[in-house]
Amino acid sequence: MASVPEPSTAGPGALWLGCEGPAVRELQEQLVELGLLNPPLSGSFDLRTDAAVRRFQRQRPWLLTDGVVGHHNRPELAAAVAAHRGRRALQQLAAAPAGLRLDQLAEQPDLAAAVQRSLGALGLGPGGVAMDGVWNEANTAALDQFLRLAGLPVTVPAQLAPAAAARLLEGSPLPDVLERYEPERIRAELERYAQRVGASDTHLAVLDMGAQASPFLDLLERMPAWLAEGPVAAEGASRHPFPPFPTLGQLPAPIEPLPPTLLDPAVTEACLGVGRLEQGELRCRWLGRRALQPLECLSSSKIIPLLNVLCRLGSTDVDDPATLLLRSVGSQAQELQLGPVLMDLCSYAECVGSSNALAATLNQLEAQPVAWIRRQSGNPEALRFGGRYGEACRLAIPELVDPRSGHRLLPFARPVEAGNRIGVYDLTRLMALLGWHQALQPAQRLEGLTAPTQALAARALSGDTARYVDGALSSLGVAQALRHPVILSKLGYGEEALVYTAFVQFQLDAPRSLALTLRVAKGVGDAEAIRADLTMAMAVTDLIRQLLRGELE
């Protein structure tokens, strides 16, 4: 390997621009297989290879877009290649003259994983790490159910026929999928999955599933563009009154009481914002359960510093906010790019630091966070937002600067304190303001948000490790059929509660759009943690089903 300067993000065995040798050639072969690089292959990490690596990194919001292939990237590349090979094998089987016996399928882990992914996206599997290519009896039972529901022949001995492979690739929902909603079966499936992954208070089945397991993994890079350009909400008349979206800083009138039958009583606090377009105007139905009550919302409240910083950049001349630098006042010894900070804050990948320490650092740039929250949401309750998350700040006295000019854009404002008590409504309103930005009038919009900062916020929030909406769409069997899906979310988790805030929009038979925040109270210990995780997963699944069926309108 040639001697080249080592980037600050490189670790043992890392590859980057200028490196040479067999390891680089193996990397290039992977990139060619993924369609990111064209032959010929030189074995030299040249500019073409650097561009291909950065393209791959952009597809996964939790990775640094630095062109360095190290311990964060290698498993991602290997998994992407395995998934590509599996889908290609499934395509080849669909075009083959004969099927494949299931004992033969068990000998092809990449193909088996592709079948597992397709079954999971059709509501016949749990997803997550269960898509491991290890074929088992549960997979055989799911395949048998798929064949029966799809009206395809079930053979003895069991096999995956070309017609079945083609139907799996097609991905359209199975007949009467939403009418066949079986919450007991879905919960049992999730419970089995939790047992399989050894779920505990420190690692939960859905909360910690990770964006890598999302059925929309290959679409994450496109979600910010779809957010700006895609369908916003259903149009036309509705069964319920949809008032105009409120002016910035005003409460919605009204926030309807959430009917007890609409959501599990174990969800102690909730707020929903359901969007519709009427004659080009965004209107919103708001529903709540103790929605305005200030409570500890844990790490879900990290959307506040994320959006606060990006909105306050609106009046500055910044082309790419991701490249701005956080640094300690009076020192250039520690510098962090804003883009990676926001990605780590949501994904917990710890490429540049822990989520808690980074969020606390950002919170030091706003002198009056409660006043800022109220200017957006209008919540009159006694909010408190100290901005600390249990860890020391990554930078003690930070400022945000433009690396091109050296100008300070945001100064250090205050030290952080303990206590972040806000309403689930505040989080829902902020997610709604981010997601529906283009559809709102100037007096309704999140102050200072621009197209580049909205895209950066969306990229960060698309990498949240909690995948409750993704799991819901898979459990309901519609994941592969959606057009222009956008899922932005942020988890919050602690001893007293599990919180999930999200914005989701997609098109199936019609465009649908929803902002939500749910809070499930919990106690200490593994059993309480697992109960809260499954309660949240089922609550989100039921809400998404009602959204798909138009029942929230």
What pLDDT, in 10s, does the model give residues 308-350? 999 999 877 788 999 999 999 877 678 999 999 999 999 999 9
If we measure between CA atoms, which residue out of 301, 286, 207, 209 comes closest to residue 245?
286
Query: Using omega within 30 degrees of 0 as the cis cutoff, is the peptide bond preceding 22 cis?
Result: no
- Contacts of 234-237 with C-beta under 8 Å, sequence gap 24+, read 234/276, 234/277, 234/510, 234/511, 234/512, 234/513, 234/550, 234/553, 235/276, 235/277, 235/278, 235/511, 236/276, 236/278
Three-state DSSP state, 200: strand
Please state the rounded mean pLDDT for residues 348-371: 96
CA distances from 132 to 127, 214, 466 (A): 9, 14, 19
**CA-to-CA distance for 175 and 173, rounded, in angstroms?**
6
pLDDT tens-digit readout, 222-253 = 999 999 987 777 887 778 889 999 999 999 98
Question: Residue 143's pLDDT is what?
Answer: 93
Query: In the chain, what percentage of residues exceed pLDDT 90?
Result: 82
Phi, psi of 71 (to 5 degrees): -70, -25
| Burial degree of 219 (CB within 10 A; 0-12, 13-18, 19+) | middle
DSSP percent split of the chain into helix, strand, coil, nearest 5: 40, 15, 40
Instruction: Please state whether beta strands 267-278 and 234-235 pair in parallel, antiparallel, or not at all (unpaired).
Output: parallel
Least confident of 226-235, 282-291, 380-389, 447-456: 226-235
**CA-to-CA distance for 120 and 129, rounded, in angstroms?**
11
Question: Residue 2's pLDDT is what?
Answer: 46
Instruction: Please state whether beta strands 511-521 and 497-507 pair in parallel, antiparallel, or not at all (unpaired).
Output: antiparallel
If we measure between CA atoms, which residue out of 216, 135, 209, 208 comes closest to residue 171?
216
